Structure 1
Amino acid sequence: MSMKHVKNLECVQCGATYAPGQVSYTCPNHSGVSGILEVQYDYDRIRERFDEPLDGDIRSQWKYRAFLPVDDDATPVTLGEGGTELYDAPRLSEQLGVETRVKDDGRNPTGVLKDRATSVSVTKAMHASRGIVTCASTGNAAASLAGYAARAGVDCRLFVPSDAPVGKLAQPLVYGADVLAVDGSYDEAYDLSMEATEEFGWYNRNAAINPYQVEGKRTVGHEIAEQTRGDVPDWLVFSMGDGCTIHGAWKGFREFRKMGFVEQVPKMLGVQAEGAAAIHDAFHEHGSADELASTRADSIAVGRPRNTVKALRALNESSGSSVLVDDEEILRAEKLLGSTEGIYAEPAGAAPVAGVRTALREGLIEENESVVVVVTGNGLKDTESAMEASGTATEIAPNIEAVNELYGTDGD
């Protein structure tokens, strides 16, 4: 193994450290998945390895290979993930009442930010000669893993709740994966995936327990830092499910500050749905009990987040905060984002827009501040919710008179 830039894996609970490769997933000092591991780096070595120009030309996340925990001789399994656009959003800004830019990670190869993490984990699985990969998912991670498994030529076995959106189930099936629809919640599907991993020795991509998954998500933070050099936003806004993504983005942005590539860091705003509020409740010390999640934003419908500790670190270290939004607000945000800026987001991807409105109303974000909202998934993932947000097509007769009735003879 040649990863001299990776120092160790540190347990977020007890601080025990392990050499890379010494443990596969979590700290053995704890039962279940509570002993989440954090990858620690030697940044002097990374500085020696990283020689890319920070000029905004980002063709894929592998521009930041020097930061990623993959062996020097590993061949990346890639579909061109990363390098997504950061858009100015003047009409959305006017509607929200605060300067807003949008990072559209729904433009990743399988339509979701998770491709950043999956590329890293499948690269590691292939380098370790692991022939079967698995994960539990509400849909997006399943589609992502299936796509990259197909690219790598390895078998993929997925555990999803049976009520996952049809579009998200169709995608991994097209990629050739075995999709196992579990008669239960995401949390039950997750528990079963862990049992199968233990029983059969498959390589598990689950972001909550695979320490290298979050590390792939860091690249969205690297990209935003590079894309906003000289104009770093006051706030960086993500929806939260398991808590991995917001932590990864914060870690990546913070690394660029540590290395002197940017002069400041943003505050992180985490957005959760009212029906899946465990991280928000933990941050505000509301004392939430484990419950089944219930929200139209299925990608963040997590009742028992496994990476709460890391998410809380991101919020606290950045002097950030979290807010809750209801499903009606999320669907309105999906329509608003599409109609003002032409960006098509699934509900979880639109939740940050709703979160900005709530944060403004609650006084967390000031009107003179700036924000970057990150769309984590494409709207084609869940067209049923999009139709609910936007309504149906207008039916007309097949003649020009019908058009005249709607718009008048001048067409306006």
Structure 2
Amino acid sequence: MTPVEALACERCGRRYAPADVEYTCPEHDGVGGILDVRYDYDAVSDELAGVLDGPTGDLWTYEPLLPVDGDPVRLGAGGTDLLDAPALGDALGVDALVKNETTNPTGSNKDRGSAVAVSRARQQGHDTVACASTGNAAASLAGYAARADLDCRIFVPADLPEAKAVQPRLYGATVLGVDGTYADAYELCREVSAERGWYNRNAAMNPYAVEGKRTLGFELAEEAPDADWVAMPMGNGCSLAGVWKGLREFERLGVVDDTPRLLGVQAAGATAIYDRFVAESDDSDAAGSRSEERGDGEDTTADSIDVGVPHNAGKACRALAESGGDAVVVSDEAILDAQRLLGECEGVFAEPASAAAVAGIHAAVERGTIAPGERVVTVATGTGLKDSASAREAVDDVISVDAAGQGLPEDL
């Protein structure tokens, strides 16, 4: 049996037994009634002590706290390194750590959510899984579907970077390039999945994908219990919300005494969660000063967080507020500078969306939100190998020399 006690609607509060509903609250249309998975913590407290005694091999180390009834799909997600980052910290003026999620099996933190979602799909007898994605969730779901011997259908915006479109196809998924935005791909995926009986992993639509992502919060609670801040990029809002849920659960279970504040970072071309957070702030003047890098909302090089209609914006804003945290917006120029800084300082090649968190720390320190010397974890959510075209904008050109060394700069 899983430790799931109920599914609760975040909008109306109605509670359902796990067997009575699969995706969203039936009292609301579409994704209007996002469900939150609630657990019987008393039932798992005894098992938790044994879990915490040993090393974290992968996310299934936390299986007693996950909504899967045995025989999970294993590909190695979770258990990623938390790196001391002294050079990065010196550059930013903080005590820096990097949670390196780029080493997950398909290269991003989305593997945590897919591990749980695909395990549930297989246990419930589904033969096809589907999702809409800006890239990382697509590869993640496809990889885990291949591991579980399930068919996979992916809906992506047609302008997705080629490397991100190739990866899920290599895993055997059918990729459908939608002539439109991520929101268009999301709605088409929702409609077609319902018509054809596919198991839908979509963010916000599937309540269990977030449950896998909260294992990142578990790991941070164990590895960095003294962190003052955790900085993360925000696209749909699911990852940040999941991390906060995991951190809060470990505080509730007595694993840690306190939780860090969250810094949510968005790109200037996709600011929907930031805008909502500012609008909900009690002090609108202070909120409006969180960032000067406001864009026109049309586009960003950080494609993984280029989400105009974030379905989990409400959860993300609550996580920021409950943690006493904040949100900032950063320009594409700042993101590319941060991508290079992270690589040069710590040897981590992160995609632009991940580097946005580093740029956000810099902006927050400059504005006094993060105090100099505070302990800050930046989450490198995805590998830069998926978008080398953007990385080329952040680096110097190759220096051409002949075999005799002609053209070699004297100052090297």
Q: What TM-score does the superposition give when structure 2 sets the normalisation length?
A: 0.94
Q: Give yes or no for contact 1:292–1:302 (8 Å, CA) kept in 2.
A: no
Match in the other structure for 2:261: 267
1:343 aligns with 2:348: yes
Partners of 2:113 and 2:349 lie apart in 1 by 22
Match in the other structure for 1:35: 33
Match in the other structure for 1:85: 81
* 1:362 alignment partner AA: R
Matches within 5 A, 1:314-329: 314-329=319-334
Partners of 2:201 and 2:410 lie apart in 1 by 53
Match in the other structure for 1:284: 278
Matched position secondary structure for 1:40: strand
Matches within 5 A, 1:50-129: 50-52=48-50, 54=52, 57-71=55-69, 74-129=70-125
* 2:365 alignment partner AA: L
Q: Deviations over 1:122-175 (max 9, x none)?
A: 000000010000000011111111101111111001100010010001101110
Shift in Å, 1:180: 0.5
Q: Give yes or no for contact 1:293–1:302 (8 Å, CA) kept in 2.
A: no
Matches within 5 A, 1:396-407: 396-403=401-408, 406-407=409-410
Matches within 5 A, 1:195-234: 195-229=191-225, 232-234=226-228
* 2:246 alignment partner AA: G
Match in the other structure for 2:139: 143
Gaps of 5+ in 1: none
Partners of 2:398 and 2:204 lie apart in 1 by 41
1:191 aligns with 2:187: yes
Partners of 1:212 and 1:52 lie apart in 2 by 24
Stretch deviating more after TM superposition (382-391 or 394-403):
394-403
Between Structure 1 and Structure 2, how many residues are aligned?
399
Shift in Å, 1:54: 3.3
Matched position secondary structure for 2:250: helix
Partners of 2:394 and 2:400 lie apart in 1 by 18
1:173 aligns with 2:169: yes
Aligned partner (choices 45, 48, 62) of residue 46 of structure 2: 48
Partners of 2:298 and 2:117 lie apart in 1 by 27
Shift in Å, 1:27: 0.6
* 1:26 alignment partner AA: T
Q: Give yes or no for contact 1:55–1:226 (8 Å, CA) kept in 2.
A: no
Shift in Å, 1:256: 1.0
Shift in Å, 1:393: 1.5
* 2:154 alignment partner AA: L
Partners of 1:363 and 1:401 lie apart in 2 by 49
Aligned in 2, Cα 1:390/1:180: closer, same or farther, shift over 3 Å? same
* 1:45 alignment partner AA: A
Identity %: 52
Match in the other structure for 1:366: 371
Q: Give yes or no for contact 1:119–1:216 (8 Å, CA) kept in 2.
A: yes
Matched position secondary structure for 1:389: coil
Cα root mean square deviation, aligned: 1.6
